[in-house]
Amino acid sequence: MKRLLSALCLLLLAAPALPAADAKKPNVLFIAIDDLRDWVGYLHHNEQTKTPNIDRLAKMGTAFTRSYCAAPVCNPSRAALMSGMRPSTTGVYGNETDWRKIIPEDKPLTAAFRNAGYFVCGAGKIYHESFKRTSEWEDYLEKEGGGKAENKLSKSAKDKGVGGIRFAPLDCEDSELEDHKITDYGIEQLGKAHEKPFFLAVGLHKPHMAWNVPQKWYDMFPLESIQLPPYKEDDLADIPPAGVAMAKPDGDHKAMLDSGRWKEAIQAYLAATAYTDMNIGRLLDAFDKSPHKDNTIIVFWCDHGWHLGEKHHWRKFALWEEATRAPLLWVVPGLTKPGSICERTVNFMSIYPTLMDVCGIAKPAHVEGPSIRPLLADPAAAWATPALTTHGFNNHGVRNEGWRYIRYANGEEELYNEAADPNEWTNLAKDPQYDSIKAELAKSLPTSNQKSPGPDAAKKEEKRKKKKEDKKKKQ
């Protein structure tokens, strides 16, 4: 009898050390925005922008001021973030590469959550939309709609834009565009009673081109008040040939200057950003009313930045600040403090491992990048890991709090003192007094670079784009 009682006592003493059977895993609201650069209110990089709802989300948790993408291109950026493997590891460098042939289904973030017992669902653009893999998801919105509404141009629209930079105000309702329906899906899921913890991904397209949104969003930014971004006529004078080739000054930028419509393009980007901010507000309103609010993590990220004429360049596809920096926001119940600002330099490759960390899921062995949980708990904590961005085979940019170092595949270099030169107007790479800084930053460059799978995928993608354009012309 005494032995039985002793055994029972030992079991009771051991019980608290076991995980509680009814312990609730946190849900995740995973918000992805396409082509949204650092023109949001909380970053104060462009005071013309109007993003009250993104700023509202920033105040709910920890907002990062120096957050950088893995690649300044949709497909490789998203493939890297979702798989946990850098472009230099997979060889996924461009929009033409089918990442599904390289990254097996057991590697992405979705698999990690499904294996942990989560209901994994989503809508919109999470991966590059040329290469969807719906089998990763237990539920995914199939029909977004919105295609026809994008062609309902307002009477004030001059045309469809300048060359490849496409923009026009629309004569339609907010609800007619695809992002509105994508947001509706997120709202619906937040209001449901879920039997399992959920990972809910909401991927909004705007401000990806075309910057076609209802006229009222354009009206928020009167053309006469539009200011151009910081610009230097001879900005490319000290840039090596590899950098100039990325800038392509005789392409989009020359067309924009020749058209005299630079301010119109800025207005359009701001309008598309404001439209997206509205949908974020709708999602946050639903979150506030959700029965899951107190047990749901929010991570808000953007696939990369965007140039609007800086360095004579438009779009992403470059390794400078404008193309690589984008907003990153975290809300983690019980960990982040409302209104926190973190000025440490972080990379979006930390999103996967951090979600594993804060959700109590073991990080898969293939995942690259450190967890930023220490910065969520204390935004001023010590942090020495620079942010690495890759554009194409063996072209890399390394960013820490004070410097940006770029090394191209042919060995050409750029170096910028971000504190003294935030517009990156003076390339210091050839000045020997900064050799030690370059050497230190170079330690973060990949030691191996996987080659791209080849040109066949590129040709296939070109055919797909041409077919899509031909279809639009017939509409």
> Which residues belong to the active site?
74, 128
Distance CA 212, CA 275 (A): 10
Distance CA 215, CA 429 (A): 46
> Judging by beta carbons within 10 Å of its beta carbon (0-12, 13-18, 19+), is residue 378 exposed, middle or buried?
middle
Closest to 285 in 3D by CA, of 217, 144, 180, 191 = 191
Cis peptide before 7 (omega within 30 of 0): no
Distance CA 49, CA 40 (A): 6
Say if residues 401 and 344 touch (Cβ distance below 8 Å).
Answer: yes
Distance CA 138, CA 116 (A): 14
From residue 39, alpha-carbon distances to 5, 85, 322, 364, 387 in Å are 67, 28, 10, 34, 20
Say if residues 369 and 67 touch (Cβ distance below 8 Å).
Answer: no
**Strand-strand pairing, 296-302 and 119-124:** unpaired
Q: Find all residues with CB under 8 Å of 34, minimum gap 6, and list them.
A: 74, 125, 203, 204, 205, 206, 207, 208, 302, 303
Say if residues 344 and 375 touch (Cβ distance below 8 Å).
Answer: yes
321 Cα distance to chain centroid: 14
Identify the DSSP state of 301.
E
Cis peptide before 210 (omega within 30 of 0): yes
Cis peptide before 72 (omega within 30 of 0): no
303 Cα distance to chain centroid: 2
Q: Find all residues with CB under 8 Å of 23, minimum gap 6, and list them.
A: none
267 Cα distance to chain centroid: 22
Report the SS3 class of residue 475.
Answer: coil
